[in-house]
Amino acid sequence: MRSPSDYGIADIPATYGSLSSDPVAAKASVRNVLSSLQEFDPDTLSSENALTFKILDTYLKNASTGTDYLLYQEPLGPVSGIHTQLPVLLSEYSFYDTQDVETYLALLKETPSYFDSVIRFEQKKATSGLFMPDYQADSVLDTCQSFIDMGKENYLVSTFNERIASLDLLPENKKDSFQKENMKLVTEEIYPAYQNLITAIKSLKGKGMNEQGLSHFPYGKKYYEYLVRQTTGCNESISRLRLMTRAQILEDLSAMQKVLFPADAALTQASVLEQTSPDSMLDDLRSKITDTFPEIPDVDFQVKYVPESMQDYLSPAFYMIPAIDNLTENVIYINNGQTASGLNLYTTLAHEGYPGHLYQTVYFSASEPDPIRSILDFGGYVEGWATYAEMMSYYLAPLPKTEASLLQKNNSVILGLYALADMGIHYDGWSVTDTVRFFSDYGINDPNAVQSVYKLIIGSPANYLKYYIGYLKFYELKRRWQMPWEINSPRKNFTGRYWMWDRRHLRSYMMRWKKIY
């Protein structure tokens, strides 16, 4: 928040909170909140509040189930681990006044104690036989060491100085004082916290009992079933999700076979975009969606780049969610180490920007939902839309429709194969050999590449389902919406209704709106 006082929030402690490793205490905490919620009678609430009640009720009940598997969670995962995400979040902490700077510096001081709670969590996982495999521990160690090795060139120093410089009302001597304090805290608080984490993880190496999927843990399949429900927002069984995925892959492959398309034509057409800057790509995408998407308020965006030393450990690209009361400042990070130029960058920016995450965030916030909904996490709902936006962007690029269709469906097939591998590894217990055999059936015959995918999926269970199943559910809703109503129900109606609800309750509401159009 830019102005917490506008929401009646005052005297905010500078803290990250802590990572609880006590399932009993965690469940009690969730149930206390759920009990408070259930004191409300939803029948007496406004339609907006009643929807929020239903969303919160579902969210908290699912969270209560999740506490049964608390120690199965992995805060140091390869895709979104605390050790990789926290510095980026800190580097984007906005400074609007002196109080913001002081709060930020207080947070830096709290980092060692927060990391101590992460260490205790990992130690508890180890004693419970749930610690990560050694190859994943090595990845955590490498990431932490790379961060420490930045020294005085760390982006927590450079970005702090840039943000301080933008505070025009702050005297120069005060800016200098803040900069010196930040440098001291980075070297004397942040780096030691990372070093302590390195020491702790090293001491726990060798205690991981399982180098394969979740199904090889006691109750691992049950945890995966919960995780898939929580991640995708879908209640279908794993078997049903697998059937859906295979059906879409077959549909896409069939459509691809009908397109007579020279192998190098895609490269030729994609090269049209190679000299285009990310900013101009985003402007192009924004202009091309005006006829098919509801308008959103004008906002600014800034494209930034992942530091070279962290490129191996962060996602190919990501969107930073702005303060809920200041939507005008939007940041998209590009990882040049993992994101190519040309068409690949164009579709990635569609996912992160227009009509993906940036668009969805601004549109939803502009609809003025109950503020609490802005802090709830429904991954399949959010990433499903962004993946749909990415798929659609092929048809916005300067490509003939047949070529755009082939490239889009190829992308869909690859993501679908990753989703099937995720279910196979974590639910069916696939080994590396099983996974290599699976991909070879689809013409992917690089065992080293498959092994890398295997390790990534081990460290991030259900992550690919968040994208692919979310995308399939959205695609299914669009087809249902447009079948008999296509002429009188433009995509603007569909898109607008979609963003009014969360993934879990979307289908029932969409079915009601279909009766209207």
Per-residue pLDDT of the chain (517 residues; tens, 9 = 90+): 888 888 888 888 899 988 899 999 999 999 999 999 999 999 999 999 999 999 999 999 999 999 999 999 999 998 889 999 999 999 999 999 999 999 999 999 999 999 999 999 999 999 999 999 999 999 999 999 999 999 999 999 999 999 999 898 899 999 999 999 999 999 999 999 999 999 999 999 999 999 999 999 999 999 999 999 999 999 999 999 999 999 999 999 999 988 755 555 555 555 556 557 999 999 999 999 988 889 999 999 999 998 887 888 888 999 999 998 999 889 999 999 887 788 999 999 999 999 999 999 999 999 889 999 998 989 999 999 999 999 999 999 988 999 999 999 999 999 999 999 999 999 999 999 999 999 999 999 999 999 999 999 999 999 999 999 999 998 988 887 665 444 344 455 555 555 545 444 545 544 444 443 3
Query: Cα(241)–Cα(210) distance, rounded to whole angstroms?
Result: 25
Question: For residue 350, which of 299, 300, 286 has the smallest C-alpha distance?
Answer: 286
Give me the pLDDT at residue 510, please: 43
Q: Which residues pair with 330 in a beta bridge?
A: 301
Residues 500, 367 contacting (CB under 8 angstroms):
yes
CA angle 312, 209, 422 (to 5 degrees): 55
HSE of 267 in the Cβ direction (CA atoms, 13 Å)? Answer: 3
Residues 18, 114 contacting (CB under 8 angstroms):
yes
- Residue 36 exposed, middle or buried by CB count within 10 Å (0-12, 13-18, 19+): exposed
Give me the pLDDT at residue 314, please: 84
HSE of 131 in the Cβ direction (CA atoms, 13 Å)? Answer: 26
Give me the pLDDT at residue 43, please: 94
Farthest CA pair distance, the chain: 69
Cβ contacts of 218 within 8 Å, gap of 6 or more: 129
Give me the pLDDT at residue 132, please: 97
Domain ranges across the chain: 4-19+75-209, 224-516
Query: Cα(29)–Cα(433) distance, rounded to whole angstroms?
Result: 43
